């Protein structure tokens, strides 16, 4: 039997405008709970949080998972500059404005973490706390390329700059994309979801736009220090992101900082370790020390 004193839960799909586009988000959990905005990465969408959100709801938190620019079918602008980091941050701010929220707790995985770092660094008044997953602070990431093996790990970012070829490869029906994703740690179920949400829904080009906009993002936006309370969750078996950037991240956070390392976990932390991730998010959102 449900607790009559518990806050009412809800799930709704919402749409909001920005720059002539319509973006989509999934708003769920107790409506009166502390709001937590969830930002997915590449090549995934809001479903990547499916194992995490029920755990956050059980802890009284409200979640808003954004189907981000380039992924959402009604928000796929053409042109590399449309995917600059400042535009991606602007989408998050537009979501908060649409919901009437002055601020929210912000959580991002992979590319979503890069957006979350930039939002927290440039708009701290809109971010109550930050939980970044897998991807370190952008300045730490760039520094790690010079002092660690991160440049070798990030070879695919250069490949994604090529026109047409990455789309052809990732959209192909053959085994090559599945083999690459499995090598990154994706399960068959996750790969099937990739096929449905990214390939069938024609979201590959939009997702690649984020990589192709890297040369056009403002250095100030990328490098801004973060002063809000921050947790960084990193896994030691991530083939794309080494320890170098993880170790350097603390240098770019002025607020209360906690580093959570998960052992034996690949890049896909929300699916592999939802319990530990939800605990880290909840502890940060509730201001629990340690």
Using alpha carbons only, give the angle 219, 220, 222 rounded to the nearest 5 degrees.
65
> What sign does the CA torsion over 280, 100, 255, 148 have?
positive
Against a cut of 0.75, is the pTM above it?
yes
pLDDT at 176: 81
* Cα–Cα distance measured from residue 123 to residue 129, given in angstroms and rounded to the nearest whole number: 12
* Cα–Cα distance measured from residue 289 to residue 232, given in angstroms and rounded to the nearest whole number: 14
- DSSP characters over 75-91: ----SGGGG-HHHHHHH
List Cβ neighbours of 275 (8 Å cut-off, separation of 6 or more): 55
Radius of gyration of the chain from its Cα atoms, rounded to whole angstroms: 18
* Cα–Cα distance measured from residue 287 to residue 98, given in angstroms and rounded to the nearest whole number: 26
Peptide bond into 79 cis (omega under 30): no
* Cα–Cα distance measured from residue 197 to residue 222, given in angstroms and rounded to the nearest whole number: 29
**Strand, coil or helix: what is 227?**
coil
Q: What is the 3-class SS of 144-199, one letter each residue? A: HHHHCCHHHHCHHHHHCCCCCHHHHHHHCCCCHHHHHHHHCCCCHHHHHHHHHHHH
* Cα–Cα distance measured from residue 86 to residue 216, given in angstroms and rounded to the nearest whole number: 10
- Report, as residue numbers or ranges, the catalytic residues: 110, 211, 267
Q: What is the pLDDT along the chain (290 residues), one digit of tens a residue?
A: 334 444 556 889 999 999 999 999 999 999 999 999 999 999 999 999 999 999 999 999 999 999 999 999 999 999 999 999 999 999 999 999 999 999 999 999 999 999 999 999 999 999 999 999 999 999 999 999 999 999 999 999 999 999 999 999 999 887 788 899 999 999 999 999 999 999 999 999 999 999 999 999 999 998 899 999 999 999 999 999 999 999 999 999 999 999 999 999 999 999 999 999 999 999 999 986 54
Residue spans of alpha helices (H) in the chain: 53-58, 85-99, 111-122, 138-147, 150-153, 155-159, 165-171, 176-183, 188-194, 204-212, 219-223, 243-248, 269-272, 274-285
pLDDT at 1: 31
Q: Find the distance separating the first CA and the last CA of the chain, reported in whole Å.
A: 33
* Residue 140 in tokens: 């730490």
Instruction: Yes or no: say if 191 and 181 are a contact pair by the CB < 8 Å rule.
Output: yes
pLDDT at 177: 86
The class of domain 10-156+217-285 in CATH terms is alpha beta
**Strand, coil or helix: what is 258?**
strand
* Cα–Cα distance measured from residue 271 to residue 93, given in angstroms and rounded to the nearest whole number: 26
């Amino acid at each position: 039997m449900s607790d009559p004193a518990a806050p009412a839960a809800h799930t709704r799909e919402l749409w909001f405008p920005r720059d002539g586009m319509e973006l989509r988000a999934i708003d769920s959990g107790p409506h009166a709970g502390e709001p937590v905005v969830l930002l997915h990465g590449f090549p995934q969408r809001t479903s990547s949080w499916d194992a995490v959100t029920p755990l956050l709801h059980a802890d009284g938190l409200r979640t808003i998972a954004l189907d981000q620019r380039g992924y959402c079918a009604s928000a796929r602008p053409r042109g590399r500059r449309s995917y600059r980091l400042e535009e991606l941050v602007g989408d998050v701010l537009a979501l908060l404005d649409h919901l009437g929220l002055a601020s929210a707790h912000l959580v991002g995985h992979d590319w979503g973490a890069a957006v979350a770092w930039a939002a927290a660094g440039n708009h701290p008044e809109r971010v109550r706390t930050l939980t970044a997953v897998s991807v370190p602070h952008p300045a730490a990431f760039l520094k790690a390329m010079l002092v660690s093996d991160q440049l070798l790990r990030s070879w695919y970012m250069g490949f994604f700059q090529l026109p047409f070829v990455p789309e052809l490869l990732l959209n192909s029906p053959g085994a090559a994309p599945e083999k690459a994703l499995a090598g990154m740690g994706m399960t068959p179920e996750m790969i099937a979801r990739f096929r449905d949400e990214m390939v069938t829904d024609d979201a590959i080009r939009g997702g690649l736009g984020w990589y192709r906009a890297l040369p056009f993002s403002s250095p100030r936006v990328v490098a801004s220090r973060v002063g809000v309370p921050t947790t960084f969750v990193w896994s030691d078996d991530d083939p794309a992101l080494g320890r170098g950037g993880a170790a350097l991240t603390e240098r770019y956070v002025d607020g209360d900082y906690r580093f959570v390392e998960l052992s034996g976990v690949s890049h896909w932390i929300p699916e592999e370790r939802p319990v530990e991730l939800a605990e880290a998010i909840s502890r940060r959102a509730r201001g629990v020390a340690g």
